[in-house]
Amino acid sequence: MVSIKDVAESAGLSVATVSRALNGHPSVSDDARERVLAAAGTLGYRPNVVARSLRTHRTGTIGLVISDVLNPYFTELARAVEEEARELGYSVIIGNADERADLEDHHVRGLLDRRIDGLLVSPADGRSPMTLEAAAGDTPVVFVDRWITGVDVPVVRSDGRTAIADLVDHLHALGHRRLAIITGPAATTTGRERVDAFRAALAVHGLALPDEYVGRGDFQAESGRVCTERFLNLAEPPDVVFATDNLMALGALDEIGARGLRVPDDIALAAFDDIPWFSHTDPPITTIAQPTAELGRVAVRALTDLIAGAPASSTVLPAHLVVRRSCGEPETKGATRE
Amino acid sequence: MVSIKDVAESAGLSVATVSRALNGHPSVSDDARERVLAAAGTLGYRPNVVARSLRTHRTGTIGLVISDVLNPYFTELARAVEEEARELGYSVIIGNADERADLEDHHVRGLLDRRIDGLLVSPADGRSPMTLEAAAGDTPVVFVDRWITGVDVPVVRSDGRTAIADLVDHLHALGHRRLAIITGPAATTTGRERVDAFRAALAVHGLALPDEYVGRGDFQAESGRVCTERFLNLAEPPDVVFATDNLMALGALDEIGARGLRVPDDIALAAFDDIPWFSHTDPPITTIAQPTAELGRVAVRALTDLIAGAPASSTVLPAHLVVRRSCGEPETKGATRE
DNA sequence: TTCGACCATGTAATCGTTTCCACGAGATGA
DNA sequence: TCATCTCGTGGAAACGATTACATGGTCGAA
């Protein structure tokens, strides 16, 4: 590999001057600059960012630890993060935690060892020691989508409470009374928030949320299937299943299909997170959409502010209900279905 | 940040001994090892991999440049790559090219500057100078999924030719005679291969592939929609549209739905790449499935072999047809539909 | 006892940059 | 004319690790 030293030799200048010329430092003569550029060009010189980072203590890189790359919600988030970061001059290294605390730990540790300038993380729960350490350490950290209660780190997320209330209103208007929910792990903030909001919204309509109508999932498709199986085996199965992420909705759909049941006639289905496929499933799925890309962009800006030394604030963006056909025909509103 | 020097001081030993103790070097006394570990523990020492990489010329990292993170096919690939790499002791840095040659260039350059140990890339076409440079340079490179003709780099990919022939047989048996295809960019090898195989398979049945039945897409949903729109506006629209990736199939579905047409009664649809959602679309989509995860794992092993100095060979894995209902009911095989 | 082998440790060079400081040459101002 | 300032440049010290080489001590064999 050709180093700055080779360029210096070839241009007949010192490495200091070469470095300055390459970095656009003002006090370099035109003549020197030209010779450096020419030499660098012919030698095919490329800076060694490893050496540069060691010297400058900056890597120009931010880490992003997401819960699950296979979840379209997170890939959309990741894409937006990378795009915004690139525009601000940063690279992004993505770590996929696969909803496992040990993997989250692994990636956070790896990213810190790599001396990233800042870290964006969607923490599975509070059980990753490295995430806690990172939050307490001096590397800037911003939580996105999920957070850890009691940890003082800016959070960029969306609030689904209003949208969940809208969803429950919608379901109630369609005549549904037995509403079940498949939640994420209780340890995740999004898992808790969604079930709490759901319960609160039910209460407004004088409905209870019995324990057997609460399925404990893990944001993965299989858990959605298992919970749905349990619901359908109940003496009194629910009218509606609300899956709090798109993968668990997929699992629910699998189980419902496997039993030869139809949505929404036999059982209605609603989900959280909107993805393009939800328009084309059979039937199209009513869901709560988050401003995912915006979330990613705002999170990056919060993080780069923090890196620049500015105080970063938390942001909450609203989610909204997207009505499709999986809970019943919207036009038959008011019809009782008991 | 606490460095190895601080640990040395705290343990009352030299940095050399600390380094050896930390790296499990044999000739370190038990006493010294213990003191080092204790000091490192209480100080919260974490190795600076930037410094280590500079010295050792190894980063323990491989780069992966994929064509599109929003495409479930590539996220599955990325996940498998990361998993296999992690097991072999490597980290992965993912670059998303978004099907754009300039972004591919950007990421390849960034990864090389970062001195990754090896590069896995799914080249959009031959128009990224950096990709060509990387292939010619001394950083080990392996192409995955796509490749660049004439460039001597190991390729790990799947061969869809047989599966495409099976698909055409299936379509022919269902009575379809006017078959259209939405291809990827002609510059991509997968784009070319799929249309060539399709044309060859049609020829076996004595069918031609007229130009107006060839839609030039770009592996993105919108292009699938546009091509489908053009097909449907033809005086004699095709019986079947074969979209050569899952996103273009989504776009096709959008357009078909927007016109109020039904699949497969009004027009049949087949796709390339299988994703979980294809079982749940309306109707479930007949597709060609690649052994995606296996592709990723094999690619990583080929690359690490190359890094280790062993000669790496190319691998071709077979794809296979998955019949669902989007081309007509399989049981009504042989029925003519003219 | 003495010599070589071996073991644990330390010293210092090195990786490729950036950047502080010093220096000489012109330019400027008194 | 001389002091001072600016400008372009080079020398050399960092950054934080690894590792070749040197060193001093212990031990077993002759």
Structure confidence by residue, pLDDT tens digits, B263-308? 999 999 999 999 988 988 888 999 999 999 999 999 999 999 999 9
Nearest CA distance, B249 vs chain A (angstrom):
11
Residue A252: per-residue pLDDT: 95
- Closest residue, chain B, to A3 (C-alpha): B113
The answer to whether B257 contacts A276, with C-beta atoms less than 8 Å apart, is no
pLDDT recorded at residue B27: 86
Distance B31 CA to D29 C1' (A): 29
pLDDT of residue B225 exceeding 70? yes
Whether the CB of A314 is below 8 Å from some CB of chain B: the reply is: no
Q: What are phi and psi of B237, to 5 degrees?
A: -70, 155
pLDDT at A337: 32
Instruction: Indicate whether A338 pLDDT > 60.
Output: no
> Residue B336: is its pLDDT beyond 80?
no
A81-90, A123-132, B80-89, range with the lowest pLDDT: A123-132
Per-residue pLDDT at B333: 40
Q: Is B220 on the interface with A (CB under 8 A)?
A: no
- What residues contact residue A77 under an 8 Å CB cut-off, 6+ apart? A66, A122, A144, A145, A292, A293, A295, A296
Strand A320-322 and strand A286-289: pairing? antiparallel
Cβ separation A51–B47 shorter than 8 A: no
Q: pLDDT band for position B145 (50/70/90)?
A: very high
* pLDDT given at position A330: 63
Inspect the interface and report whether the beta carbons of A70 and B59 lie closer than 8 Å.
no
Distance from residue A50 (CA) to nucleotide D24 (C1'), in Å?
A: 38
Whether pLDDT at B331 is above 60: no
How much is the pLDDT for B196?
95
Q: Are A252 and A228 in contact (CB under 8 A)?
A: yes
| Nucleic strand C under 7 Å from the C-beta of A58 | no
Q: In angstroms, rounded to a whole number, what is the distance separating the alpha carbons of residues B147 and B50? A: 32
Residues 6+ positions from B78 with CB-CB distance below 8 Å: A69, A96, B64, B66, B69, B92, B94, B296
Q: What is the mean pLDDT of chain B?
A: 93
Ranking A109-118, A315-324, A328-337, B138-147 by mean pLDDT, the lowest is: A328-337
What integer pLDDT is reported at residue B330 of this predicted model?
63
Q: How confident is the model at residue A221, as a pLDDT?
A: 94
Chain A residues in contact with B283 by the CB 8 A cut-off are: 282
pLDDT score, position A281: 87
Report residue B126's pLDDT band, with 50, 70 and 90 as the boundaries.
Answer: confident
Give the model's confidence band at A124: pLDDT under 50 very low, under 70 low, under 90 confident, else very high. confident
Mean pLDDT for chain A? 93
pLDDT digits (tens, 9 = 90+) for A315-337: 999 999 999 999 987 654 333 33
Asked whether B60 and A50 are in contact (CB, 8 A), the reply is: no
Distance from CA of A194 to the nearest CA of B (A): 24
Sheet holding B91-96, edge to edge: B91-96, B61-66, B118-121, B141-144, B155-159, B315-318
Quote the percentage of chain B above a pLDDT of 90.
89
Q: Kindly report, residue by residue over B176-218, the tens digit of the pLDDT.
A: 999 999 999 988 999 999 999 999 999 999 999 999 999 999 9
pLDDT of residue B1: 87
Of B96, B109, B114, the CB nearest to A82: B96
Tell me if chain B has a CB within 8 Å of the CB of A208. Answer: no
Which of A290, A325, A22 minimizes the C-alpha distance to A156?
Answer: A290
Which residue approaches C12 most closely, CA to C1'?
B16
Distances (CA, A) of A79 to A69, A93, B253, B267, B298: 11, 11, 24, 34, 26
pLDDT higher for B224 or B333?
B224
Characterise B72 by phi-psi region: left (phi > 0), alpha (psi -120 to 50), beta (else).
alpha
Q: Nearest chain A Cα to B82, which residue?
A: A96
Q: What is the mean pLDDT of residues B101-123?
A: 96
Q: What is the pLDDT of residues A218-272, one digit of tens each?
A: 999 999 999 999 999 999 999 999 999 999 999 999 999 999 999 999 999 999 9
B115, A277: Cβ pair inside 8 Å?
no
> A153-162, A185-194, A287-296, B110-119: lowest mean pLDDT where?
A185-194
Q: How many other CB atoms sit within 10 Å of the CB of residue B24?
A: 8
Cβ pair B109:A46 closer than 8 A: yes
CB contact under 8 Å between A276 and B47, yes or no, is: no
Mean pLDDT value of segment B128-152: 94
Question: Regarding beta strands B315-318 and B155-159, do their DSSP bridges make them parallel or antiparallel, or are they unpaired?
Answer: parallel
Of B75, B86, B133, the CB nearest to A69: B75
- Give A206 to chain B, closest Cα distance, Å: 34
pTM given for the model: 0.93
Structural contact between residues A290 and A273, judged by C-beta atoms closer than 8 angstroms:
yes
Number of other CB atoms surrounding residue A33 within 10 Å: 18
The single-letter code of the amino acid at B155 is V
Nucleotide nearest to B56 (CA to C1'): D18
User: Closest-CA residue in chain B for A254?
Assistant: B280
The spacing between the Cα labelled CA in B225 and the C1' in C17, in angstroms, equals 50
Residue of B nearest to A133 (CA): B44
Which tokens in the block code for residue A138? 């001096």
pLDDT at B103: 95
Q: Say yes or no for a CB contact (<8 Å) between B76 and A59.
A: no
Q: Is A51 on the interface with B (CB under 8 A)?
A: yes
Q: How many CB atoms lie within 10 A of CB B221?
A: 23
Q: Does residue A50 sit at the B interface (CB-CB below 8 Å)?
A: yes
| Separation of alpha carbons A104 and A110, rounded Å | 10
- The whole-angstrom separation of Cα B335 and Cα B338 is 9
| B282 interfacial to chain A (CB closer than 8 Å) | yes
